Structure 1
Amino acid sequence: MQKKITLHLVSEATGQTLDSVARACIAQFPNTEVHLRHWNLIRTQLQLRRVLRHIALDRGPVMSSLTDPTLQADMEAGCASLQVRLLDVLDNALHFLTEETGEEATLHPGGQYIMDENYYQRIEAMHYVLAHDDGQETKGLNEADVILVGVSRVSKTPTCFYLANRGLKAANVPLVMGIEPPQDLFTTNKPVIGLTIDPERLIEIRRNRLSQMVPSKAKIDPIADYAYIDLEKVQEELHWARRLCRRHNWPVIDVTRRSIEETSAAILDLISAG
C-alpha cells in the first residue's frame, strides 16, 4: 500500500526555490504519495501562527526557507510543540557560503527577486520571445542569443520561454517541408540548434493538439487521414529536418524523453561549448 504524507513548504518569498527542491527530492520516492501545501510570503509572526494552526490540523513534516531569525526560531518552537519534523533548506548552504566568503548573509527575504539588471534582462528576453515566436520577425534573428528550429510541435515555443526566464533571447523558426526557411536563418552569426523527436511521440502530441481544435459534436473524424499525423509523412518530415540541420552544421537535440528543463540545459551546454 502506498504511503501518503503531507509536506508543508513555508517560505518568506514566492516559494519557487523551496518547491523546486521539494519536487526534485519527492521524485526519488515513487512509492510515497506526497501532498504539498504551500505557505508563501510568510513574513510576520501572525502569519506564521496561522500556518502552524493549519499544520496542526494536517500534520506532516515541514520544509522551510525562512531567513528571519525570529521567524525561524518561532518555526522551530512551533514544530517542536506539534512534534513534526522541520528542515531548514537554506541553513547549511548559508553557513557554507558564509565560511567561504567571509561575509555574513544579509538574510533578506526573496533576495533573488530584486529588480536588478538581471531582472530587466529576463523581461526583455520575454518580449523578444513573444516577438520572434514561430518564425515572426526573422529580420531580428541577429539579436537572438540562440535560435531553435524544428518541425511543428517539438516544443520550440515553451523551450524559448524557459530560456527567456534565464535571461536568454531565444527565437524559434518552424521548419516546414516544401517551404524554404527564411534566408536570415542561413546568414545569422548566432547559434542555431535543431530540435527533433520520435515520430510516434510527435504524432501523439499532434493528435492531442488537433483533438482540441475539432468540435466535440463532429460526426466524422477530420484528422483520421490527415498528413500532419500520418506516420510515413511524419517520418519523412523529421528526416528532412535532420538533413537540413546536418547540411548547415546545426546541432540537434532529441527531446523525446527530455523535459523542457532538460532540453534547455542541453541548449545552454551547447551555447557554452561555443
Structure 2
Amino acid sequence: MPQRQINLHLVSDSTGETLNSIARATLARFDNHHVIHHRWSLVRSRLQLDRVLEGIEHEPGPVLYTLVDSSLRLALEETCGRVGVQCFSPLDPVMDLLQGAIGARAKEKRAAQHVMDADYFRRIDAMHYVLSHDDGQGTLGIRDADVVLVGVSRSSKTPTCFYLANRGIKAANVPLVPGAALPTALEDPPCPVVGLHIEANALIDIRRHRLKIIGAAGVRHDASDYIDPEAVKAEIIAARRLCSSRGWPVIDVTRRSIEETAATVLQLMEAWHARRKDGAPTHTPEDPAAAVLGTPGRGP
C-alpha cells in the first residue's frame, strides 16, 4: 500500500503538549503514512491566529486545537469550514462529560495545568533531587527519597528517575557494581526499592554502543568485563540474587519503554505503601523476581 502524506495542524494557546501526546498516541496505530506536523503553540491573539490561518490555507489538513478564547475558536472553525478541512477540539467531549458529572461549568482559563502551584514546585524539587542523587550520588539523601531504583549499569535507571521526577516523585538510583558495597541507607530503606533487570544480550549491545560514543579510551571492546558476555551474565545474576535476598521487586526493562517502566514503578510504590498501611511486611515474602525472571522459590 503506497504511503499517504497529510498535513496535521496542532493549534494551542498553551505549550501544545496535550495535542502532541494525543497525536503521537493515535498516529502510532497507523501504518504506511507520513504526517507533516505543523505545531502552533501559544496562540493567544487574533494576530497570532491569523498566521495560523494562513498556514492552514497554504497547506490544508486536519486541525486539532485547544483554544479557550471563544472568538479565536470561532475564527479557526470558520476558516477550516471555508478551506474544507476538518477541525476538532479533543478536550471538548471530556470537558462536557466532567461538567455534567461535577455539575458546574469549567472556567475559561488557558494553560491551567501549567500554573506555578505547589504541584509545579514539587516536580521541580524532584528534578533537583534526581540530579543530585543519580548513579549512587548523595547516598545520605536516600532517606528523603520516594523510591530507589537499583540495577546494573545501563539498565535505564537514570531516564526512568527523570520521568518519575516529572510526576513529582523523588527517585534516587544506585548502581549494582560487583564487589561494591551498597549504601547503608538500603539496609533498612524508608521507601520502596525496585530492581531493574535487563537481558544480557540487550545490555551488551547498549554498553557497546555507549563505549563507541564515549570513545572507550584504551578499552578493548573484546576484553573489557563491561561487555564480556560471561562477565555481564554474572553481573546480572548477582544483581538478581541481591534483589531476591532483600525482597525487592524486579522489573524486566528489556522490551519496556521508559514510560512503561515508570508506570510499573508507580504501581509497586502504591503496593508498598498499602502493605505498610496495613501493617504487613513491606518486602515481598516470595521471590519478587520469580514472575519476571522465571526463578522459582526464594532465590536463584
Aligned match of 1:3:
4
State the identity as a percent. 51
Letter in 1 for 2:78: A
Q: Is residue 39 from structure 1 mapped to residue 40 from structure 2 by the alignment?
A: yes
Question: SS at the partner of 1:162?
Answer: helix
Following superposition, the deviation at residue 155 of structure 1 comes to: 0.8
- 2:123 aligns to what? 122
Q: In the TM superposition, what whole-angstrom CA distance separates every residue of 1:229-272 from its partner, at most 9, and x where no partner exists?
A: 11111111111101100000000001111111111000001111
TM-score for both structures, normalised by structure 1: 0.96
Written as runs of structure 1 = structure 2, the 5 A alignment for 1:163-178 is: 163-178=164-179
Return the alpha-carbon distance in structure 2 between the equivalents of residues 157 and 107 of structure 1.
Answer: 38
C-alpha distance after superposition, 1:4-59 (max 9, x if no partner): 21211111100111101110000011222222221100011111110111122222
For residue 26 of structure 1, what is the amino acid of its counterpart? L
Aligned to 1:87: 88
Q: Which SS does the other structure have where 2:264 is aligned? A: helix
Consecutive unaligned residues in structure 1, runs of 5 or more: none
Partner in structure 2 of residue 225 of structure 1? 223
Query: Hey, what's the Cα distance between the residues in 2 that align with 1:151 and 1:36?
Result: 38
- Alignment counterpart, residue 259 of structure 1, candidates 251, 254, 257: 257
Identify the residue that residue 277 of structure 2 maps to in structure 1. none
- 2:276 aligned partner: none
Determine the structure 2 residue equivalent to 1:248. 246
- 1:212 corresponds in structure 2 to 213
Supply the distance in 1 between the matched residues of 2:137 and 2:211 (Cα, whole angstroms). Answer: 23
Secondary structure in 1 aligned to 2:226? Answer: helix
Q: State yes or no: 1:113 paired with 2:111.
A: no
Q: 1:237 aligns with which of 231, 235, 238?
A: 235
> Structure 2 counterpart of 1:235, which letter?
K
The aligned runs of 1:10-49 (5 Å cut-off) are 10-49=11-50
Per-residue deviation, residues 116-156 of structure 1 (Å, max 9, x unmatched): 11001111111111111110111111110000000000111
Alignment match, 1:187: 188
Partner residue, 1:76: 77
Aligned partners of 2:262 and 2:119: how far apart in 1?
18
- Residue by residue over 1:146-204, the C-alpha shift from the partner in whole angstroms, topping out at 9 and shown as x without a partner, is 00000000111111111011001000001001112122112222100000111111111
RMSD between superposed Cα atoms in Å: 1.4
SS in 1 for 2:67: coil
What's the secondary structure of 1:227's corresponding residue? coil
State the alpha-carbon separation in 2 of the partners of residues 224 and 85 from structure 1: 57
CA distance in 2, matches of 1:221, 1:81: 64
Secondary structure (helix, strand or coil) at the match of 2:187 reads: helix
Residue correspondence of structure 1 range 58-73 to structure 2 within 5 A: 58-73=59-74
- 2:162 partner amino acid: F
Counterparts of 1:143 and 1:109 in 2: how far apart (Å)? 35
Unaligned runs of 5+ in 2: 273-300
Distance apart, 1:221 and its partner CA: 7.5
